Amino acid sequence: MPPAPAAPSGEPRPARSKRADAQRNQQTLLKAAAAVFVTSGVDAPIRQIAAEAGVGMGTIYRHFPTRADLVVAVYRHQVEACAEAGPRLLADADSPFAALREWVDLFVDFLVTKHGLANAMQSDSGGFDALHSYFLDRLVPVCAQLLDAAVDADEIAPDTQALELMRGIGNLCVGRDGDPDYDPRRMVALLLRGLRQTGAPSGA
């Protein structure tokens, strides 16, 4: 086995540092792919993703041998980003409802990125089912936490279920598939406005 590349000091570079570099490079690829998927769908040319990431196409194929591998990795990356954002937004936002609104923006981004996933995964329906379960397991509890906090703050009424809200948002995002002028964010904003009005104090 060849020796590890030398660090500037002449000492071998630690394996942990190489692993960290590889993880950062992969995260860069996933962010680039997600951005391209938003604008061009999951069938976008690999060269477009490579250009967005600032790498060669060979680098992408080395990390993700097939398009399905890349699509699934982007899907999981986006799910984790949404899941991790919930508690952070709840801690930093001005109010629980503001945190919910910001999280829903991220969720809409995810749903737009997800466009075309079913077609990309049609040769592996079992894999798609597993991803759907992963999506529910990770994101429904986060949405529920945000809703519960908004209820506790008397910003919304205690009658909205997390999965119910997420399905409603998903249905509003579907319209974008057939109409490039359709803006799901406007419809989702109306949904959230209604959610808040439902729980607003009398006379507000």
Q: Are 12 and 4 in contact (CB under 8 A)?
A: yes
pLDDT of residue 132: 85
pLDDT tens, N- to C-terminus, the chain (204 residues): 555 555 455 555 555 665 777 778 888 999 999 889 888 888 899 999 999 999 999 999 999 998 888 988 988 998 999 999 999 999 999 999 999 999 999 998 888 777 666 556 555 555 667 888 899 999 999 999 999 999 999 999 888 999 999 999 988 887 666 777 888 889 999 999 988 855 444 333
- How many angstroms separate the CA atoms of 188 and 59, rounded? 37
- How many angstroms separate the CA atoms of 153 and 147, rounded? 10
pLDDT of residue 53: 92
DSSP state of 177: G
DSSP state of 56: -
pLDDT of residue 140: 97
pLDDT of residue 80: 93
Which three-class secondary structure state does DSSP give residue 104?
helix
- How many angstroms separate the CA atoms of 56 and 26, rounded? 13
- How many angstroms separate the CA atoms of 38 and 75, rounded? 12
- pTM for this prediction: 0.76
Q: Domain-by-domain residue ranges, the chain? A: 15-65, 67-199
Residue with tokens 């951005």: 35
Q: Are 160 and 195 in contact (CB under 8 A)?
A: yes
Q: Are 162 and 144 in contact (CB under 8 A)?
A: yes
pLDDT of residue 65: 93
Contacts of 199 (CB under 8 A, 6+ apart): 150, 151, 154, 155, 156, 157, 158
pLDDT of residue 202: 39
Q: How many CA atoms lie within 13 A of 24 on its CB side?
A: 6
Instruction: List Cα–Cα distances, 104 to 20, 64, 109, in angstroms.
Output: 31, 29, 9
Fold of 67-199: Tetracycline Repressor; domain 2 (1.10.357)
Produce one character per residue of 2-13: b if its CB has 16 or more CB atoms within 10 Å, e if not: eeeeeeeeeeee
Fold of 15-65: Arc Repressor Mutant, subunit A (1.10.10)
- Residue 5 φ/ψ, nearest 5 degrees: -55, 145
| Token pair in block for residue 196 | 């808040």
